[in-house]
Amino acid sequence: MKYYLVAGEASGDLHGANLMKELKKLDPQAEFRFFGGDLMQAEGGTLVKHYADMAFMGFFEVAANLRAILKNLAFCKLDIANYHPDVLILVDFPGFNLKIAAFAKENNLPVNYYISPKVWAWNQKRVLKIKRVVDHLFCILPFEVDFYKGWGMVVDYVGNPLLDAVSAFKPDAGFLEKNKLAGKKIIALLPGSRKQEINYLLPDMIAVTDQYPNYQFVIAGAPSFNADYYQQYLGGRPIPVLFNATYNILNNAHAAVVASGTATLETALFNVPQVVVYKGNPVSISIARVVVKIKHISLVNLIVNAGIVKELIQQDCTPKTISAELDLILNDPIYRQTMLDNYDKLDQKMGLPGASAKTAALIVKYNAK
């Protein structure tokens, strides 16, 4: 079959690549064309547009880049129409992908949505649109099944694809020596994969590093940027920026400062105590505070439905508050162990790996001709 996938950010690229890998096992004749990134490209097929040109987050940022977004939407629709795929797979990225789903539905293309939109967070009536334009919805968070059921939708719960990625990870035995990191405990800095996240968060992260001379800080670089981009924030500090090495960094980290998003869950799965941070355009954050109806922003806390990791958001995110939380993680054994014990509860909620294989099997089953 001919598959067209649309992923618009780094996490979607990861999950899209793993899904493609599983689809190839079930469908040796699979052909792929996609919006995505380097990981999906490594699985074969044709990369039409890189997510680095698409990832705008926040109400203000979306408005400011509306022309580029509309251009990408028009291009995506035209490319899908010209390709005539047998199957359309939309990976997360709801602001963009729900519009593509509506277009596909109008053109009688089967719509498979992997990693369901987080409509439970705000404007829940968007579920009604999803019911109209999505044929098969694959959920990765356990509480989503009951949420969608409450709106009269039958969905498939496939487990979380991060479990696949983490379980497939093979540590680099020489990672510390190769990167000259041996000798000090590592504190990982994960400032996100979008330019605006890095711009808002990395300066505060870097400001913290001077207070911990006995630790080695390491930045997990986003693949859509280069080392020179990060140097502007370092002020000459000898902090390494490592690319395509996030899991090796976390595998060796003693603590982490993490931008809210997929990385918070990855950090927890590697059993690394963390402080979650987030900043954005003040207008976007003000709007979000009004419309978002959830108690937590990090996936770790959302899944467990408890504040097991500290979330520092907007004005609460400063070098001083980050340092205060790091001090507890590094120097208070009871505080640290409590967080690790709570990670065990998270593991129980998450279940077992296999999301990519389950989703691929369902997609082939539902779309077989």
Query: Which class is domain 175-350?
Result: alpha beta
CA distance 152 to 143: 15
Q: How much of the chain exceeds pLDDT 70, in percent?
A: 91
Average pLDDT, the chain: 90
Domain range summary for the chain, segments of one domain joined by +: 2-159+354-367, 175-350
Q: What is the mean pLDDT of the segment spanning 238-242?
A: 95
CA distance 277 to 317: 6
- For residues 249 and 229, the answer to whether their CB atoms sit within 8 Å is no
Question: How far, in whole angstroms, is CA 20 from its chain's centroid?
Answer: 17
Torsion of CA 220, 225, 228, 232, to 10 degrees: -70
Neighbouring residues of 252: CB distance < 8 A, sequence distance ≥ 6: 175, 176, 181, 186
> Which of the four pLDDT bands, split at 50, 70 and 90, describes residue 223?
confident
Q: How much of the chain exceeds pLDDT 90, in percent?
A: 70
CA distance 294 to 205: 26
Structure tokens, 118: 């987080």
> Which of the four pLDDT bands, split at 50, 70 and 90, describes residue 59?
very low
CA atoms within a 13 Å half-sphere pointing along the CA-CB vector of 221: 16
Q: What does the pLDDT read at residue 368?
A: 85
Structure tokens, 332: 């208070």
Give the single-character DSSP code of 297: -
Please name which of 75, 70, 105 lies closest in space to residue 88, comparing C-alpha atoms: 105
Q: Do domains 2-159+354-367 and 175-350 have the same CATH topology?
A: yes
pLDDT in tens, 172-197: 999 999 999 988 999 999 999 888 88
Task: Decide if pLDDT at 341 tops 60.
Answer: yes
CA distance 56 to 75: 17
87 strand-pairing partners: 3
The SS3 of residue 360 is helix
Torsion of CA 148, 149, 152, 157, to 10 degrees: 70
Task: Give the CA distances from residue 126 to residues 58, 88, 115, 270, in Å, rounded to whole numbers and listed in that order.
Answer: 18, 20, 15, 34
Region 2-159+354-367: CATH code:
3.40.50.2000
Please name which of 145, 95, 83, 90 lies closest in space to residue 120, comparing C-alpha atoms: 145
> Which of the four pLDDT bands, split at 50, 70 and 90, describes residue 229?
very high
Task: Decide if pLDDT at 30 tops 80.
Answer: yes
